[in-house]
Structure 1
Amino acid sequence: MDIIPAAVETFAERYTSPETDLLRRLNRETYLKVDQPHMLSGHLQGQFLSLVSHMLQPQRILELGTYTGYSAICLAQGLKEGGILHTIDINEEREDMCLRYFEEAGLSEKIRMHIGKAADIINGLDEVFDLVFIDADKAGYERYYDQVWDKIRPGGFVLADNVLFHGETLEEPSKQSNNARAMISFCEKVAADGRAEQLLLTLRDGLLIIRKIG
């Protein structure tokens, strides 16, 4: 399902700051060489992530789901001096590509990439995060949310991607995939959490913005 009409996307891109040359090349290489390139954050969402990071000026960011590194680069752009972004991905085959672009972006000292299961790695990170971006396996969102919550500073943010899951969340339950049902369950969990306030932003494939209250 096309959630956002193509004409609207084109208009939005026209009046959004353009991709850098590096991000444009990363975008192109992903579509040429990597499976499921639609998983890339892309121009509009990437610029949104960059602006959020610049607004928050975080010291510590956690990203769950690196893919080819596009979103990590965008998020790392707003880090404070000495800030670090931890990014976790289960697929080691894309690690070299990610590290190559991180280095070219001048972010090798700011981005620490971890390969393995996010649920295992999160518990080993002794950090307090200002911002967490969840863009990993959909069935794991609720678990990741629970795992990271106590590691987020009061007033910190969680961004959860793909909560509309290609529009399947709008379908009748009998037509929804397991991933779509997982997204609905996750959104309901957050909505019922009195420790948080949230906004479901209809950007790209749905982005849930969550703020830790207190």
Structure 2
Amino acid sequence: MSRTSDIPGLTDYLTRLAGQDDTLARVNRETGELPHGGMQSRPDQGALLTILAKTVGTRTAVEVGTFTGYGAICIARGLADGGRLTCFEYDPEYAEIARGNLDSAGVGDRTTIVVGPAIEGLATFTEEIDFAYVDADKPGYPGYYDALLPKLRSGGMMVLDNTLLGGRVIEAGDDRTRTMAELNTRIANDPAVDSVLIGLADGMTIVRKR
């Protein structure tokens, strides 16, 4: 049986069914033209983020790695009334692009972008978190997980993107993939959470704090 990732035209099919509006379609298109455009969340991933944020009744959300804001828009649209999203983005140029995209999507009033190393920002973040999304530098994932989990409320959710690294985690032949593979195993065995690593796009790990 063929893997779904091998089926011609499937990504376009999923995109058509993901419920993109004109703003998200524009962000998706313009981001895809950037040198690192492949880093952005896929439309079906974005739709999932909105659903998950709504499911846990998110009032306080955190995103680690915002890039041009596609995922942030999706999370912000899933916030409960009065909810807030804090985005940590290392690159000031991407942060500026993301701010413009968030404003054009009509969710700029419920988001804050913090420019600089996320691990430093998380250290001073004192609010209890309902929903967290991590899509940043992969070697930093263990630190982000450890920083976020104590701040996540019971029943809260964390989503980590790219946790399969193109399947390279199976053999884990270099430091980057070995770090991710070790984190995947640690999360799967963490008694503090329920978790699943799903094969969506490049792998998404969904964590629910017990």
TM-score range, shorter chain: over 0.9
1:56 — aligned with what? 56
Partners of 1:45 and 1:20 in 2: how far apart?
15
The residue type equivalent to 2:132 in the other structure is V
Matched, 1:207 2:209: no
What is the count of residue pairs matched by the alignment? 207
Q: Does 1:198 align with 2:195?
A: yes
| Paired AA for residue 195 in structure 2 | Q
Question: In percent, how many aligned pairs have the same letter?
Answer: 31
Query: Normalising by structure 2, what TM-score?
Result: 0.92
In structure 2, runs of 5+ residues without a counterpart are: none
TM-score, normalisation: structure 1: 0.91
Contact kept? 1:3, 1:205, Cα under 8 Å? no
- 1:128-156 Cα shifts (integer Å, max 9, x gaps): 11111111111111111111111110111
Corresponding position: 1:30 with 2:31: yes
2:159 alignment counterpart: 159
The residue aligned with 1:17 is 18
1:100-179 correspondence to structure 2 within 5 Å: 100-170=100-170, 172-173=171-172, 176-179=173-176
Q: Once the 2 structures are TM-superposed, how far is the Cα of residue 61 of structure 1 from its aligned partner?
A: 0.5
Structure 2 SS opposite 1:82: coil
Give the match's secondary structure for 2:112. strand
Q: Is the 8 A contact 2:188 2:196 kept in 1?
A: no
Instruction: Describe the superposition over 1:58-113 as per-residue Cα deviations: whole angstroms up to 9, x where unpaired.
Output: 00011100011000000110111111001101101112211111111111111100
List per-residue Cα deviations over 1:137-176 (Å, max 9, x = no partner).
1111111111111111011111011010112123x34xx3
**C-alpha displacement of 1:3:** 7.5
Change (3 A) 1:123 1:193: same
Find the aligned partners of 1:44 and 1:131 in 2 and give their Cα distance: 18
1:184 maps onto 2:185 in alignment: no
Indicate how the Cα distance of structure 1 residues 106 and 11 shifts in structure 2: closer, same or farther if over 3 A, else same.
closer
In the superposition, relative to structure 1, how do residues 123 and 142 fare at CA in structure 2: closer, same or farther (>3 Å)?
same
Q: Is the 8 A contact 1:164 1:206 kept in 2?
A: yes
Contact 1:61 1:86 in 2 (8 A): yes
Instruction: Provide the C-alpha distance between the structure 1 equivalents of 2:11 and 2:107, rounded to a whole number of angstroms.
Output: 29
AA in 2 matched with 1:51 = I
* Aligned mates of 1:162, 1:59 — CA distance in 2: 25
Structure 1: how far apart are the matches of 2:181 and 2:125? Answer: 28
